[in-house]
Amino acid sequence: MNTSFKALQLKARHQVYTLLNGHNLSRLHGEGYDFAQLREYQMGDDIRKINWTVTAKLGKPYIKELHANRELSIVTALPAFDGRLYFGNGNAKQDTMVQTAMLIGYAAQWHNDLFSGIAFTQIQVLAIPPTKHLFQIEHFIQQLHETPLLHTAVETQASLDALFGRILKPSLLFVLHDFLEPIDLSLLAQRHEVIALVVRERDEETSPVQGEVILHDPRSAGTEESCIGKGNRQRYLARLKENDEKMLAHFSQHDIRYVKIFTDEEPVTKLLELFR
């Protein structure tokens, strides 16, 4: 185990056992009942239980069944764990996501809840089944920390569609992504309580670079010479604003809570906003 990862572990443990102590993840649930299952409609079922959003997406009627919320199942998902996490001179977004996933894992284990994690990379899917064992949680987080992502690419929506089939038990689902592209979480929100964790670099929202530049694509390894002037910068900021407005409308429509975490912030402080 390298020293940088060990330092992250010690820091996350201290934060969970002090700052997050008493802030149970179950407080995020708005109701005392949760989905027991989402299954196909059968003759005799109450038509009032039909979930029309899922029915429209899958082309056949589905109903939702409820049960009293007991043991909490917590899932941390990284649907596009690839080169997009590199920006500027480093991969600070990867580091922030690793820290955030570690905090959630430790908090789940501390409160005796089930934790599972899944990250879609270009080479493989990193995943652990629901567990309360600290060793398994830490092994998953270490894989996230050590996986090389530069010059790799993952299609986000395809990963989210695959995620729906992988998580069968209704869960508290944390989705870590930069959300710099349109993403549809509606299907997942029908089965799970989805929390969107928007991880970004501050410079991604200001576009400070101007003049003659050489742009490097961290996913494809391609390069392009360009001149970024005032007009280019304004168009970029306008498109970012449009993207974020659509993102927030999507979250609101499907009752998805969210928090934005910049890479120069402590993830624990932003998680506290949710737990409170």
Pick the last residue of a domain from 15, 45, 68.
68
Residues 97-104 have a mean pLDDT of 96
Decide if pLDDT at 69 tops 70.
no
Is the domain of 86 the same as that of 223? Answer: yes
Is the domain of 126 the same as that of 149? Answer: yes
Is the domain of 43 the same as that of 140? Answer: no
Is the domain of 42 the same as that of 131? Answer: no
| CA–CA dist 114, 234 (Å, integer) | 46
How many of the other CB atoms lie within 10 Å of CB of 184?
14
**Confidence (pLDDT) at 136:** 95
Give the type of residue at 131.
Answer: T
Is the domain of 47 the same as that of 99? Answer: no
Decide if pLDDT at 9 tops 70.
yes
3-state secondary structure 6-64: HHHHHHHHHHHHHCCCCCCHHHHCCCCEEEEEEEECCCCCCHHHECHHHHHHHCCCEEE
Decide if pLDDT at 28 tops 60.
no
**Confidence (pLDDT) at 32:** 40
| CA–CA dist 21, 111 (Å, integer) | 9
How many domains is the chain built from? Answer: 2
Decide if pLDDT at 35 tops 60.
no
Is the domain of 250 the same as that of 129? Answer: yes
Is the domain of 207 the same as that of 120? Answer: yes
**Confidence (pLDDT) at 30:** 43
**Confidence (pLDDT) at 6:** 84
Is the domain of 230 the same as that of 121? Answer: yes
Calculate the alpha carbon distances from 129 to 43, 137, 219 in Å: 34, 10, 29
Q: What is the pLDDT of residues 196-255, one digit of tens each?
A: 999 999 999 987 667 787 878 899 888 888 777 788 888 889 999 999 999 999 999 999
Calculate the alpha carbon distances from 91 to 16, 95, 147, 263 in Å: 24, 7, 12, 10
Is the domain of 83 the same as that of 219? Answer: yes
Decide if pLDDT at 31 tops 70.
no
Residues 105-129 have a mean pLDDT of 94
Whether 107 and 99 have beta carbons less than 8 Å apart is answered as no
The percent of residues above 90 in pLDDT, for the chain, comes to 53
Q: What is the pLDDT of residues 156-188, one digit of tens each?
A: 999 999 999 999 888 999 999 999 999 999 999
| CA–CA dist 77, 81 (Å, integer) | 9
| CA–CA dist 43, 40 (Å, integer) | 10
Whether 69 and 26 have beta carbons less than 8 Å apart is answered as yes
Decide if pLDDT at 21 tops 70.
no
Is the domain of 15 the same as that of 44? Answer: no
**Confidence (pLDDT) at 67:** 52
| CA–CA dist 75, 117 (Å, integer) | 6
With bands split at pLDDT 50, 70 and 90, how would you rate the model's confidence at 70? low
Give the residue, 36 or 221, on which the prediction is more confident: 221
Is the domain of 199 the same as that of 165? Answer: yes
> Which residues constitute the domain of residue 52?
33-68
Has this prediction a pTM greater than 0.95? no
Which domain CATH number covers 209?
3.40.50
Decide if pLDDT at 57 tops 70.
yes
Is the domain of 75 the same as that of 63? Answer: no
